[in-house]
Amino acid sequence: MQSRLEEIAQANGVVFGISADSSFSLDEWAKKEGYSFPLLSDFGKEMIRAYDTMYEVRADHKGVPKRSAFLLDAQGKLVKMEVLEDAKDLPDLDGFINALKSL
């Protein structure tokens, strides 16, 4: 993962994560996992609702955001978006890196 972050940085991209967990939980998780990018809390779920990435009512996922990835340009315009149904899956980083390089 670290090499992918370096590729993104070389293409003038910035990575950060957003979760519905509290900032305190995210700080601990980032330390445990050794993340070198910031994790932001969307505890009130405003962004999750704005980008429509919340699971609908499911027994094990009510109100939980789906794993999603977004690419915004320098003006904040959404360029690429991927919303995954299974949290075990990872976004297509090659697709995001290629889209970033084309900006």
Domain that holds residue 85: 2-101
pLDDT given at position 62: 66
Place of tokens 């959404």: 78
pLDDT tens digit string along 31-58? 999 988 899 999 999 998 899 898 876 6
- Give yes or no for a contact between 80 and 60, defined as CB atoms under 8 angstroms apart: no
Q: Could you give the number of structural domains in the chain?
A: 1
CA–CA distance, 33 with 77 (Å, rounded to integer): 30
| CATH code of 43's domain | 3.40.30.10
Cα 2 → chain centroid: 15
pTM of the shown model? 0.80
